[in-house]
Amino acid sequence: MNAVTGEDVLNELPVLNRSDLQTEGARLWSTQGDSSTWRLVRTSGTTGEPVSVLVDEDTRLAEGMALAEHIDRCLGPDAWRQRTLFHVTLHAGAASSVMSAPSGWASPAVKWNLIRSWQTEDDSFIESLGHLNGHIVTTMPSVAELISSRILSTGAAGSTIPLLVVLSGETLSDRQREIVEAAFDTRVTSLYTLAEVGIVGSECPAGGYHVEDQVAVVEVLDDLRRPAAIGVEGEIVVTSLVNRAMPLIRYRTGDQGRWENAPCKCDRPSARLFLARGRRPVSLIAESGATVNVVRFAKLIAGLDVQRINLRRLGRGSVAVEYEAQGLLDRSAHSLLESALRSALGPSASIVVRRSSMTQPDVTNERHGASPLHAEPAGPNAHEVAAWIRSALTNWPGVKDVEAAVITGSYLDAEATTRFSDIDVVVLLQETAGGFAWQRIVALVARLRSQLPQVRVNVDSLSAVRTRAPLLVCRLLQEQLPLVGALTTDNLPWPSIGSVRAHGKYWTQDAHALLWTWLTDPSLERKDVLPTAWLAAKQSVEALRYHYLARGARVTASREILAMAREEEQQDLPWLEDVAEAFDVAREHRPPPGPASSPSKRYISASLSCLGFVRDGL
């Protein structure tokens, strides 16, 4: 009997294109196995062809094991498993969260989005990074490069020293590695990963990647789909050995690479794979001139019913979206895409979406790595939004009925915003405005909100606010970016301390009930900690506003309120540390803590104590 190797058998099979995954979809899903643990992974990759891949639990476990084995090779099998595995991102789309750790890890894994901390001053950004000290950091090379460049430019090299930095998701250049090593003063290693498969290869100290044999079979094929000779570049084609939910056999990755079989010193037997043409992030330019990474839209794009999509930047705040699909995008998909782009690029960005027959996605510049990297803004710029709403209001025929319109609240302070923050607009109509004015402003506000969903508009009359909402009056006077007219103590007198106190008593009663409902939620500790931290911080800051306003202070902005509480040395405020931590977690200036310290319960309890303290003093 002739020996038939696995490779011979594989060679006979057809290759699998991304378009096959798109057209066959669920037909490639397995009908065997426990589907309750399967997850749908969506990726648009760098080719602009969104695919969905069903991944089983074994694939997730194998990924954790491959990562752990690679860290063992780098650090030795010591106590690193006690350290936290931080997955660091830097784009507005991803929320920070605590994830279950790969098997064998003692601590949870934490996804930490640094985009909000990135918007702060150098000192506080560098201080935030301190949370990574002594832990294992995984991230994309472009993210590590941005963070490292900032560390180096502020002279803070070595101020944060992770135990190890593991880079994957894009091709790592020598220059990037040098920058990251210099900034973090630690060992840097890399993995070759595919969202569809997991960790395909891990770095050899002598260069290139050893294939993770237990995870995948890797082929490098020439233009005629034959195995490329050693040293000759071709397309990387991967067969997943683990995923039974949706087996990918001879899957074309779109990545280019070559084999090298020069011996290395690390004793791993397989030949080494060297990646060529790099995967690099593609970016757009916002109206403000800021750079926006297309990765931000990956999840959204992957959910669209298109074969291929290409986001092409035409200039500042201008983008052309071209897609190939069987039919036109439906209206809801279209508006979802448009509002996501507008949120990132600016409210009056020019967005042209059209169906086309494309040949190749236009990512040429990025492929060759010519464009410099920039971090993107965390959200639309308050001044851009202001200019846009101001122009909508002043061109609106009913503007004569508007006494004043302002943007107020946390959106005015980039360092205080969270991913839950709305852009709060208050429009105050004149006393003389008739019913018709009230009716037609509804249409205007609905139009604004359809273009920028984060906008919340409160329409009221000046006299109603003056008599019924003392705290809002204080906030409007202290925190306003005028759009039409202006609010001063001439048209909106500062409320009396008596009215602030009376109102504060009602408010604390309601807030107390709300916090108790959260505290006694049986699923509290299983829920995402970020919204809980946000609620606890928001309620505490609001309570402290009443506290200080009732004492005659004229301060309402959240960071200033917390700073005042911290300076109150004569008072013993044992809950203040937890409230401040909740505020930092909600803003993502620190990573969400793992469940061991029961953070959600701690934050809500601290907020209740804060409320009690304020109520007793009113």
CB of 272 to Zn ion, least distance (A): 6
Identify whether the C-beta of residue 481 lies closer than 8 Å to the C-beta of residue 386: yes
DSSP string, 323-372: EE-SSPPPHHHHHHHHHHHHHHH-TT-EEEEEE---SS-S-HHHHTT-SP
Q: How far is the CB of 265 from Zn ion (least distance, A)?
A: 7
CB of 68 to Zn ion, least distance (A): 18
For residue 270, the minimal CB distance to Zn ion (Å) is: 8
Smallest distance, Å, CB 205 to Zn ion? 7
d(CA 485, CA 403): 6
Output the smallest distance, CB 15 to Zn ion, in A.
Answer: 28
**Please, what is the minimum distance in Å from the beta carbon of residue 40 to Zn ion?**
35
- The phi and psi torsions of 107 (rounded to 5 degrees) equal -105, 160
Rank residues 214 and 571 by Cβ distance to Zn ion and give the closer one: 214
Bridge partners of residue 487, in order along the sequence: none
- Give me the least distance between CB of 273 and Zn ion, in Å please: 11
Sheet with 423-429: list strands edge to edge: 455-461, 423-429, 402-408, 480-484
- State which residue, 269 or 552, has the beta carbon closest to Zn ion: 269
The position carrying tokens 């909508």 is: 392
Rounded CA separation 234/218 (Å)? 12
| Tokens matching residue 377 | 């803004």
Tell me whether residue 13 or residue 262 sits nearer to Zn ion (CB atom).
Answer: 262
Tell me the residue type at 257.
Answer: G
* Structure token digits, residue 108: 């949870």
Q: Which is nearer to Zn ion, 267 or 490 (CB)?
A: 267
Cα separation, 149 vs 179, whole angstroms:
7
Q: How far apart are CA 449 and CA 339, in angstroms?
A: 10
CB of 104 or CB of 207, closer to Zn ion: 207
**What is the distance between the alpha carbons of residues 241 and 279, in angstroms, rounded to a whole number?**
24
Residues 112 and 591 sit within 8 Å (Cβ to Cβ): yes
Which CB atom, from 264 or from 553, has the smaller least distance to Zn ion? 264
Residue among 428, 435, 559 at smallest CA distance from 121? 559
Q: How far is the CB of 70 from Zn ion (least distance, A)?
A: 12
CA–CA separation, 477 and 462 (whole Å): 13
Residue 453's CB: how many other CB atoms inside 10 A?
Answer: 16
Report the residue number, 69 or 362, with the smaller CB distance to Zn ion. 69
Q: Which amino acid is at 232?
A: V
Q: Please report, as ranges, the residues that interact with Zn ion according to CB under 5 A.
A: 204, 264, 266, 268
When the beta carbons of 209 and 546 are compared against Zn ion, the nearer one is 209
Measured from the CB atom, the residue of 266 and 314 that comes closer to Zn ion is: 266
Give the shortest CB-233-to-Zn ion separation in angstroms. 20
Which residue's CB is nearer to Zn ion, number 262 or number 314?
262
CA-to-CA distance for 445 and 160, rounded, in angstroms? 46
Q: How many helices (H) and strands (E) does the chain have?
A: 19, 23
**Which is nearer to Zn ion, 249 or 264 (by Cβ)?**
264
Contact 22, 48 (CB under 8 A): no
Pairing of strands 480-484, 402-408: antiparallel
Query: Of 447, 374, 457, nearest to 411 (Cα)?
Result: 457
Q: What's the closest the beta carbon of residue 188 comes to Zn ion, in angstroms? A: 16
